[in-house]
Structure 1
Amino acid sequence: MNTHGITVLKPGLETTVQELPGRIGYLEQGFPVSGPFDKWSFRQANLLAGNPRDSASLECQFLGPSLRFDCDVVIAVTGADMRPKLDGQPVPMWQSLPVAAGQVLELGAAYTGARGYVAVSGGIATPAVLGSRAVFHMARVGGQALVKDQVLPLGPQPLGAPDLLMVPEAGRPSFSTDKTWQIEALAGPNDDWLDSASVEMFFAADWSVQAKSNRTGIRLTGPEFSFAGRALSKGSDHGQDPSNIIDHGYPLGAVNLAGQTPIILVNDSPSTGGFINPFTVASAAFWKLAQAKPGDVLRFRQIDRDEAGRLRAALETVTSAGVTVRV
Structure 2
Amino acid sequence: MSIHVERPGMLTTIQDWPGRVGYWKVGVPPSGPMDDLSLRLANVAVGNPEGAPALETTMSGPALRFDDETVVCVTGADAPVTVNGVPAERWTPITVPAGGVLDVGAVSGAGLRMYIAIRGSVLAEEYLGSASTFTLGTFGGLDGRVLQAGDDLAPADSATGTPAAVPMEHVPALTHSWQLAVTEGPHGAPEFFTRTDMDTILGTDYEVHFNSDRTGVRLVGPRPDWARTDGGEAGLHPSNIHDNAYSVGALDFTGDTPILLGPDGPSLGGFVCPMTVVAADRWKLGQLRPGDTVRFVALEAAAAASKNTVGLARRASLPVVFSRGGDGDDGVIARRDGLTPVTYRRSGDDNILVEYGEMSLDLALRARVHALHEAVEAISPAGLVDLTPGIRSLQVKVDPDVLPTAKLLDLLVEAEDALPDASELTVPSRHVRLPLSWDDPSTREAIQRYMHGVRSDAPWCPWNIEFIRRMNGLESVDDVYDTVFDAEYMVLGLGDVYLGAPVATPLDPRHRLVTTKYNPARTWTPENAVGIGGAYLCIYGMEGPGGYQFVGRTTQVWNHRHPLTAKGFEEGTPWLLRFFDRISWYPVSTEELADMRADLAAGRGAGVEITDGTFSLADHDEFLADNDSSIAEFRKKQAEAFGIERDAWSAAGEFALTTAQGA
Question: TM-score normalised to the size of structure 2?
Answer: 0.45
Alignment of 1:198 with 2:186, yes or no, is: no
- Is 1:188 the counterpart of 2:155? The answer is no
- The Cα of 1:139 is off from its aligned counterpart by 2.2
CA distance in 1: counterparts of 2:291 and 2:200, whole angstroms: 20
Deviations 1:269-322 (A, max 9, x none): 0001111111111121122221121000000100121122x35355064389xx
- Other-structure match for 1:213: 212
The residue aligned with 1:325 is none
Following TM superposition, by how much is the alpha carbon of 1:182 offset from its aligned partner in structure 2, in angstroms? 0.6
**Which of 55, 59, 65 is the aligned partner of 2:56?**
59
The one-letter amino acid paired with 1:274 is: G
Q: CA deviation at 1:214?
A: 0.6
Residue by residue over 1:178-203, the C-alpha shift from the partner in whole angstroms, topping out at 9 and shown as x without a partner, is x2001111111011310111001100
Call closer, same or farther: CA 1:157–1:136 in 2, change over 3 Å.
closer
Tell me which protein shows more helix as a share of its residues.
2
Report the residue type matching 1:185 in the other structure. V
The within-5 A match list for 1:66-85 is 66-85=63-82
1:318 lines up with 2:310 in the alignment: no
| Residue correspondence of structure 1 range 222-301 to structure 2 within 5 A | 222-228=221-227, 231-232=228-229, 235=232, 237-301=233-297
Question: Could you tell me which residue of structure 1 aligns to residue 113 of structure 2?
Answer: 115
Output one character per residue of 1:53-75: Cα deviation in whole Å (capped at 9) or x when no partner: 11000011111011111222111
Query: What residue number does 1:91 align with?
Result: 88
Q: Is the 8 A contact 2:96 2:102 kept in 1?
A: no
Report the counterpart of residue 149 of structure 2 in structure 1. 148
Q: Quick one: distance in 2 between partners of 1:319 and 1:73?
A: 30
CA distance in 1 between partners of 2:157 and 2:67 (Å): 13
Q: What does the per-residue CA deviation read over 1:62-92, in whole Å, with 9 as the maximum and x for residues that have no partner?
A: 1101111122211111111220111111100
Matched, 1:42 2:43: no
Counterpart residue type for residue 315 of structure 1: V
**Secondary structure class of the residue paired with 2:40:** helix
- Pair 39,318 (structure 1): closer, same or farther in 2 beyond 3 Å: farther
> Are the aligned partners of 1:40 and 1:319 in contact in 2 as well (CA < 8 Å)?
no
Question: Does structure 2 conserve the Cα–Cα contact (< 8 Å) formed by 1:44 and 1:319?
Answer: no
CA drift of 1:12 comes to: 0.6
CA distance in 1, matches of 2:188, 2:20: 29
CA distance in 2, matches of 1:222, 1:315: 29
User: Using a 3 Å threshold, how does the CA distance of structure 1 residues 211 and 138 change in structure 2: closer, same or farther?
Assistant: same
Tell me which structure has the larger Cα radius of gyration: 2
CA distance in 1, matches of 2:31, 2:87: 31
Q: Whose relative contact order is higher, 1 or 2, with alpha carbons under 8 Å and at least 6 apart?
A: 1
Contact 2:13–2:147 under 8 Å retained in 1 = yes
Q: Quick check: 2:230–2:236 contact (8 Å CA) kept in 1?
A: no
Provide Cα deviations, 1:237-278, integer angstroms capped at 9, x if missing partner. Answer: 121001111111111111110121100101100001111111
Give the conservation status (yes or no) of the 8 Å contact 2:81–2:102: yes
- The structure-2 alpha-carbon separation of the partners of 1:9 and 1:199, relative to structure 1 and needing over 3 Å to count, comes to same
> What residue ranges of structure 1 are gaps of 5+ in the alignment?
321-327
Residue 118 of structure 1 aligns with an amino acid whose one-letter code is: I
Q: 1:158 to 1:270 in 2, by over 3 A?
A: closer
Following TM superposition, by how much is the alpha carbon of 1:125 offset from its aligned partner in structure 2, in angstroms? 1.1
What is the rounded CA distance, in whole Å, between the counterparts of 2:225 and 2:309 in structure 1?
A: 36
Deviations, residues 140-180 of structure 1 (Å, cap 9, x unaligned): 12121101111111113769xx844212321100111xx20
Over 3 Å counting, the alpha-carbon distance change for 1:268 and 1:233 in structure 2 is closer
- SS of match in other structure, 1:318: coil
Query: 1:158/1:217 Cα in 2 relative to 1: closer, same or farther (>3 Å)?
Result: closer
Offset, 1:138: 2.2
* 1:80–1:116 Cα contact (<8 Å) kept: yes
% identical aligned pairs: 37
CA contact (8 A) 2:77 2:112 kept: yes
Q: CA deviation at 1:136?
A: 0.9
Give the partner amino acid of 1:146: L
Equivalent position amino acid for 2:213 in 1:
N
3-state SS in 2 of match to 1:290:
helix
1:191 counterpart SS class: coil
Distance, in Å, in 1 between the alignment partners of 2:289 and 2:303 is 26
> How far apart, CA to CA, are the structure 2 residues paired with 1:316 and 1:169?
10
The SS at the match of 1:245 is strand
- After superposition, give the CA deviation of every residue in 1:11-67 in whole Å (9 maximum; x if it has no partner): 111001000110011112211000011111111111111111110000111110111
SS of 1:40's partner is helix
- Inter-partner Cα distance in structure 2 for 1:7 and 1:130: 27
Runs of 4+ deviating beyond 6 Å: none
Contact residue 172 and residue 311 of structure 2 kept, 8 A: no
**CA offsets 1:88-114 (integer angstroms, 9 cap, x no match):** 111001111122221101111111211
Equivalent in the alignment of 1:137:
135
Tell me: CA distance 1:209–1:164, structure 2 relative to 1, closer, same or farther (3 Å).
same
Letter in 1 for 2:132: A
Q: Residue 124 of structure 2 corresponds to which residue in structure 1?
A: 126
Query: How far, CA to CA, are the matches of 1:319 and 1:24 in structure 2?
Result: 25
Q: What is the rounded CA distance, in whole Å, between the counterparts of 1:27 and 1:136 in structure 2? A: 14
Distance 1:163 1:25, change over 3 A: closer
In structure 2, the gaps of 5 or more residues are 316-663
User: Secondary structure of 2:201's match?
Assistant: helix
Alpha-carbon contact 2:170-2:311 (below 8 Å) kept: no
Check the 8 A contact 1:76/1:118 in 2, yes or no: yes
